[in-house]
A and B are shown apart, each in its own frame.
Chain A
Amino acid sequence: MKARADRRRLGRRSMLLGFALATLAALWLADLRLLAPDPWQTLGRIGTGLLSPSFADLPALAEAAALTLAFAFCGVFGGAAAGLVLAPFYHLRPLRHLCIAVRAIHELFWALLLMQVTGLSPLTGVLAIGLPYAGIFAKVFAEYLEEADPAAARALPRGSPRLSALVFARLPLALREMRSYVLYRLECGLRSSAVLGFIGLPTLGFLLESYFRQAHYGEAAAVLAVFLALILPLRLWMRWPLVPVYVAVSAWLLSRVETPPTGAGVLWRFVTHDIVPAPLRSGGWATLTGWLDFAGWLWRLGVEQIAPGVWTTMILSQVALALAALIAVVGFPLIVPRVTGRAGALAGHALLVLGRSIPEYMLAFILLQLFGPSMLPAILALAVHNGAIMAHLMGRQAEGLCADLRPDAPRGSVLWGYELLPRQFASFLALCLYRWEIIVRDSAIFGLIGVATLGFHVDAAIQTLRIDRAVALLLAMGGLTLAIDTLSTHLRRRMRLAHAPGAKQVLHEE
């Protein structure tokens, strides 16, 4: 019995070997060319701009900053409220699948899709954040409620109403964790909100893009500075009693945004015409030729766009994951005082906070100006952002480990090599597998800056008003995310990583 269990167990060595081979192959296949004509000159000009930010158009900056906050607040707290209501029913299979489906699509693509119905209105932005977040919150809240100490629930009279029992005996126990998770999600929501500007909503991303396009690097630097000034001290200005005020002010601000009117009956047209595959429209669904045409349509879409899009996504995410893992392993000791000293740890924190606070899409957009439209900007942006998050989580875990070390344990990089890395390696692998899924999901958004992932084809379909294609591509995207999620869970189980010491803690810390 034991021998069989061991044989089923996937060794770390073979896993790492496979990972290295896949990375080499992906590196060979990836388009890593420097396509910009003169990156050094651009770097010089951007650098000068970054060093001399210009706050000339302060009213525009202030408005964009306020709206960035407003979208984030309404989206995140709307999503959290919906998630809280859904969490008690998350065990129901249809609901679980619905939640998985809505969160498999990135906020940017939700926005692109919703825009067809609600136009460039605030509702588009709020729903684009709120919908996928509701799916995430429902799952995480359900887990927290599930994991709460059951002793109190067991002590209740057996006939207690189900909902009362949940709210009295489980919710209070899970509330602290839920709050800190909402805080983490608010940070993500701020990033999403800023990035929604790149597709036309009036947030900081919109300003950043237009300044960059006009090569006004000083102004662009100011936008970046304002964004960091909002997100870095989040935990200082975010006070729970003030949340109703924040949300109310946000809703009021958004209600004042002027939007171009959308025609009447858009929603009806969207549901009954736009998203219906072209061969099945106007009665096609009732004929055999309609369905034959549909099969051909689906086949062409699969061969011409889905398959190449998935291929590019896998190459991009493989290189990005490898680089992120490297950044994490080298980067996490930076914030451990026993390794880098107190001042060093402070600098390390600053570096990692910067890395994870700037949205990967924004970073990729900036790098795009330097390197040109190859895979390079997307890979670097994904790797820096995810690497910084992983390094932060592992660094925090390492600090906990340091508290329990023997008194004569080494310091500096010897400590990193001999004590920390070996102890944390299992949770590091679990973290990598978990991040893999997120990187695959997020790599789609770089389609919008020209990398031919699935997102590139979705964007093209929407630009040409072929919403039916966009929806089919988005479904494929969701399917890919789901497949990676399943594979990653399977690998974690096969490698016995799920129960590795610290793995759960590292994954849940977020």
Chain B
Amino acid sequence: MDGAAPMARIDGETLAWQGKPVLRDVRLELRAGERLVLLGRSGAGKSTLIGALRERLETGRGGPRVALVPQDHGLVPQLSVHLNAWMGRLDDHGTAYNLANLVRPFARERRAVAPWLDRVGLAGLDRRAVETLSGGQRQRTALARALFRGGDVALADEPVSAVDPAHGAALLDALGERFPTVVLALHDTAAALRLASRVVGLRGGGVAFDKSVAEISDDEIAALYRR
């Protein structure tokens, strides 16, 4: 892996969130096959870093296929669970097909989405409007959308924050099985260490450490959250 070119590279840049600089002098490379976990207190810049990686990955045709689980889910509350998950593949079809499936979802597309709804624990809810779901169910819908999309990389920003820990672990495993490369922002350090191949710690407006999971000490992690 070492010799291969990175999928995305951030080279000493300052990253901004809504026009305000959040992370300074960031150096980071994402390589294919990695399980990169971002740790840090809320506001440390995890979402900013994920956004920056997305920008560098989605370079248009020929770039890797990216699936997203944003922190705010990015769901359309008025549409059904099925359609929200199906929207993960909106770029695979032409406009006419997309609009036809919006008016009346095809049986074929329902069947294609169903296993993924099943996988996140939403079986049987595909016709329900997202606005009628609980917070945890909404998050699962956002996960189902990414799993259904599939691809080379998943960028997931706190993807299991509204789900209980046992289910959360299973959902993270699903992400890991579906995508060869995963970038995760997590607040649950135990889950992070179980899953990660590499951990990036963010603190004080910059990258505090960037190490493979075997090299990290508990102290280093604890230091991220110290006031």
> How far in angstroms is the closest Cβ of chain A from B124?
22
Interfacial chain A residues near B56, Cβ < 8 Å: none
* CB-based contact A157/B79 at 8 Å: no
Task: List B residues 48-76 near A (Cβ within 8 Å).
Answer: 58, 60-61, 66-68, 70, 72-76
Number of residues in A with C-beta < 8 Å to the partner?
21
Task: Supply 18 A–B pairs (Cβ within 8 Å), ascending by A.
Answer: A151-B70, A151-B74, A152-B75, A152-B76, A154-B74, A155-B70, A155-B74, A155-B75, A156-B90, A159-B60, A160-B90, A164-B99, A167-B102, A168-B87, A169-B76, A169-B87, A172-B76, A173-B77
> How far in angstroms is the closest Cβ of chain B from A165?
7
Q: Does A406 contact B (CB under 8 A)?
A: no
Known: A155-B74, A161-B91. 13 other contacts (CB 8 A): A151-B70, A152-B74, A154-B74, A156-B91, A157-B90, A158-B91, A159-B61, A159-B91, A167-B98, A168-B83, A168-B87, A168-B98, A173-B77
Task: List B residues 114-159 near A (Cβ within 8 Å).
Answer: 142, 145, 149
Q: Does A163 contact B (CB under 8 A)?
A: yes
Contacting A156 at CB < 8 Å: which of B73, B87, B99?
Answer: B87
* CB-based contact A157/B66 at 8 Å: yes
A157 to B98, CA, bound (A): 14
- Known contacts A155-B70, A159-B60: A168-B78 contact under CB 8 Å: no
Interfacial chain A residues near B99, Cβ < 8 Å: 163-164, 167
Q: Does A326 contact B (CB under 8 A)?
A: no
Interfacial chain B residues near A154, Cβ < 8 Å: 70, 74
- Known contacts A167-B99, A168-B90: A175-B78 contact under CB 8 Å: yes
A176 to B87, CA, bound (A): 21
* CB-based contact B88/A157 at 8 Å: yes
* CB-based contact A168/B102 at 8 Å: yes
How many residue pairs between the two chains, A and B, have CB atoms under 8 Å in the bound complex? 71
A447 to B45, CA, bound (A): 64
Q: Does B19 contact A (CB under 8 A)?
A: no
Interfacial chain B residues near A158, Cβ < 8 Å: 58, 60, 66, 91
- Known contacts A154-B70, A167-B99, A168-B102: A161-B78 contact under CB 8 Å: no
A159 to B88, CA, bound (A): 11
* CB-based contact A163/B91 at 8 Å: no
Task: List B residues 75-119 near A (Cβ within 8 Å).
Answer: 75-79, 83, 87-91, 93-95, 98-99, 102
Contacting A172 at CB < 8 Å: which of B66, B72, B78, B94?
Answer: B78
* CB-based contact B78/A151 at 8 Å: no
> Contact size class for B?
20 to 34
Interface string of B163-197 (1 = CB under 8 A from A): 00000000000000000000000000000000000
> How far in angstroms is the closest Cβ of chain B from A335?
31
Interfacial chain B residues near A168, Cβ < 8 Å: 76, 79, 83, 87, 90, 98, 102
* CB-based contact A164/B79 at 8 Å: no
- Known contacts A151-B73, A155-B70, A157-B66: A164-B90 contact under CB 8 Å: yes
A168 to B97, CA, bound (A): 12
A176 to B75, CA, bound (A): 17
Interface string of A160-190 (1 = CB under 8 A from B): 1101110111001101100000000000000
* CB-based contact A164/B76 at 8 Å: no
Interfacial chain A residues near B66, Cβ < 8 Å: 157-158
Interfacial chain B residues near A175, Cβ < 8 Å: 78
Chain A, Cβ-Cβ closest to B145: A155
* CB-based contact B91/A157 at 8 Å: yes
* CB-based contact A172/B70 at 8 Å: no
Interfacial chain A residues near B67, Cβ < 8 Å: 157
Of all A-B residue pairs in the complex, the 4 with the closest CB atoms, nearest first, are: A155-B74, A159-B91, A164-B98, A172-B78
Most central of B58, B76, B78, B94 by chain A CB within 10 Å: B76
Chain A, Cβ-Cβ closest to B151: A157
Chain A, Cβ-Cβ closest to B103: A167
Most central of B61, B66, B89, B102 by chain A CB within 10 Å: B102
A161 to B89, CA, bound (A): 11
A156 to B75, CA, bound (A): 10
Contacting B95 at CB < 8 Å: which of A155, A163, A176?
Answer: A163
Task: List A residues 15-71 near B (Cβ within 8 Å).
Answer: none
Interface string of A248-267 (1 = CB under 8 A from B): 00000000000000000000
> How far in angstroms is the closest Cβ of chain A from B34?
21
> How far in angstroms is the closest Cβ of chain B from A397?
26
Interfacial chain A residues near B72, Cβ < 8 Å: 151
Interfacial chain A residues near B93, Cβ < 8 Å: 164
A158 to B99, CA, bound (A): 18
Interfacial chain A residues near B89, Cβ < 8 Å: 157
Task: List A residues 120-177 near B (Cβ within 8 Å).
Answer: 151-161, 163-165, 167-169, 172-173, 175-176
A167 to B93, CA, bound (A): 14
Chain A, Cβ-Cβ closest to B61: A159
Chain B, Cβ-Cβ closest to A168: B87
A255 to B144, CA, bound (A): 51
Interfacial chain B residues near A155, Cβ < 8 Å: 68, 70, 73-75, 142, 145
* CB-based contact B149/A157 at 8 Å: yes
Interfacial chain B residues near A153, Cβ < 8 Å: 74
A163 to B76, CA, bound (A): 16
Interfacial chain A residues near B95, Cβ < 8 Å: 161, 163-164
Most central of B74, B93, B102 by chain A CB within 10 Å: B74
A206 to B67, CA, bound (A): 62
Most central of A154, A157, A160, A175 by chain B CB within 10 Å: A157
> How far in angstroms is the closest Cβ of chain A from B103?
10
Interfacial chain A residues near B98, Cβ < 8 Å: 161, 164, 167-168
